[in-house]
Structure 1
């Protein structure tokens, strides 16, 4: 190879390495911005929905609902309970504070795969007031702990979920909302529970349910920040409702 050819080859290699290094830096910067919540893939798609809201738990700490409620949000769904015996320690304060705002308010229960649906329903009923103007209770169906690697069978989940939903509907007078990750939806909810509004988590792209069912709520981000809370978790979950605020209020009891 001539000196000139070798020089050109070396130059090309340097340009390729430089380009690869530049791409690597860009990817790293974008990943860091996503992790920090500065940019988020779904925000553009979610901006097409006019009715927005948050879901919160003890991890957001003390919430100033006057401040948070004055943000560009229309609803708040608050963690109340988990399993058959656990209550969120901030639920009562969050419920009272949110109810003093103009937000449409609801509660959610984190469903356990390890206790009966009937006793989980009792936990919810003993914790969440059946107040006019509030949303149906949400049952949060997602994997946790070792169940990520060893998910329970559909029949096992059905044996818990069915009585839980039935007892909550009987007490509150409305079919509960079901929140699910995409994996949980595909395994446990596909082609089932047609009377229950679906709240789907999809933080990478706008969701499309595989059975062509319409979702009612969409959790599009777990990396937003809003003023008004000071807790262990610096971020807050953001959601949209597929409809107007009037449509949302029509879901309330």
Structure 2
């Protein structure tokens, strides 16, 4: 779909949600909407108390005061990719979220044709070590890059992840959270990474169904969410515990 048509569709959905007096897709928390809602059954995102967003340049300018007042409790912001790509909106988003008083952290999108050492150094170069920030995130998923089409072995991927995390942990004093997708998690046996907190994508079912037997801390439940302060679609995420548990997690896992 062309970008401007998609944008009109998102605006139309947002208007409809607002006009219906707060109605929202089944299973989505009432403070949010969804441009392409999934029919949720069983345990739904609405059953969790703490929700957040993750953003990059593709969200455009963000009203962070609006985000903070719209039921969002945390945000992860794209900072870097590979060993030489920096998100041009990172600084604005990083400072905007800070001014709004919103807990926020930075994430790195892993590129399989650069070494873990190069990528960790690039992240450190671009992301300040600030007191109170959320732990960094290592985003590992399959890509369709024409410049890097290969798929390394699971053993290589896990070894590189460990190297990256060790460098980042030493610099920031917090071990990264690992974000990944269903196929990547399964094909690379990511559960073999010891002592890791996972942020798992699952837009068609609860993580306990999609990742049976595996622990998780954050759940990305839609990539087409609608939230106050963001003009288009945005990823929505839930913390896998109560608000009291979230407060304890923040105290333990903030830098």
TM-score normalized with structure 1 length: 0.79
Q: Distance in 1 between matches of 2:49 and 2:109?
A: 27
Matched, 1:216 2:214: no
Q: Distance in 1 between matches of 2:168 and 2:237?
A: 23
Equivalent in the alignment of 1:160 = 160
1:159–1:249 Cα change, 3 Å:
closer
Equivalent in the alignment of 2:31 = none
1:103 positional shift: 1.7
Matched, 1:98 2:97: yes
2:37 maps to which of 39, 44, 67 = 39
Of 86-95 and 236-245, more deviation after overlay is shown by 236-245
Structure 1, unaligned runs of 5 or more? 1-32
1:186-201 correspondence runs (5 A): 186-201=186-201
Q: Distance in 2 between matches of 1:174 and 1:168?
A: 8
Q: Distance in 2 between matches of 1:42 and 1:176?
A: 30
CA contact (8 A) 2:54 2:77 kept: yes
State the Cα deviation string for residues 181-204 of structure 1 (Å, max 9, x = none). 011111224442231210000000
Q: Please tell me whether Structure 1 or Structure 2 has the larger radius of gyration of its CA atoms.
A: 1
Q: Distance in 1 between matches of 2:202 and 2:149?
A: 20
1:112–1:215 Cα change, 3 Å:
same
State the Cα deviation string for residues 52-72 of structure 1 (Å, max 9, x = none). 000000000111111111111
CA contact (8 A) 1:191 1:211 kept: no
State the Cα deviation string for residues 101-129 of structure 1 (Å, max 9, x = none). 23211111000111000010011111111
1:40 positional shift: 2.6
Equivalent in the alignment of 2:54 = 55
1:60–1:191 Cα change, 3 Å:
closer
Q: Distance in 2 between matches of 1:205 and 1:150?
A: 29
CA contact (8 A) 1:220 1:239 kept: yes
Q: Distance in 2 between matches of 1:108 and 1:191?
A: 20
Q: Distance in 1 between matches of 2:126 and 2:167?
A: 14
Equivalent in the alignment of 1:225 = 226
Q: CA RMSD in A?
A: 2.4
Structure 2, unaligned runs of 5 or more? 1-24, 27-33
1:224 positional shift: 1.1
1:85–1:138 Cα change, 3 Å:
same
